[in-house]
């Protein structure tokens, strides 16, 4: 079983939930709120599955780093939130950090 695929699903669902936060309008809109809660709950389910097979440092570095990177890029594309060069540099440093953690993980 490819546990990194389940980690990718967990990260994707967490990003979906986060991207729906503005649309929920402080949880006053039923459909975006329901979808984001379902996305977060399912994301944590997959995260719990993956935590049984992969090192926690790898899971959390990937979860946090790729989540922040994805939300920043999608926020720029969907909500037109600006990205200056400092933010872009920081995002690339996050990717470098996640890559280093994954490459040098211990079994």
CA distances from 107 to 9, 10, 18, 55, 83 (A): 22, 21, 31, 7, 37
Q: 70-82: per-residue pLDDT in tens?
A: 999 999 999 999 9
Positive or negative torsion for Cα 74, 77, 81, 84 = positive
Tell me what the mean pLDDT of segment 30-43 comes to: 98
Question: What percent of the chain shows pLDDT beyond 70?
Answer: 98
- Asked if the model's pLDDT at residue 58 lies above 80, the reply is yes
pTM metric for this prediction:
0.89
For residue 17, give Cα distances in angstroms to 11, 22, 96, 97.
Answer: 10, 10, 25, 24
């Amino acid at each position: 079983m490819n546990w990194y695929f389940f980690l990718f699903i967990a990260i994707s669902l967490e990003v979906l939930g986060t991207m729906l936060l503005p649309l929920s309008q402080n949880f006053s809109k039923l459909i975006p709120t329901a979808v984001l809660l379902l996305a977060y709950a399912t994301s944590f389910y997959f995260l719990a599955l993956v935590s049984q097979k992969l090192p926690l440092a790898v899971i959390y570095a990937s979860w946090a780093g790729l989540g922040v990177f994805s939300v920043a890029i999608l926020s720029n594309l969907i909500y037109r939130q600006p990205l200056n060069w400092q933010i872009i540099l920081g995002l690339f440093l996050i990717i470098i950090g996640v890559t280093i953690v994954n490459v040098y993980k211990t079994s």
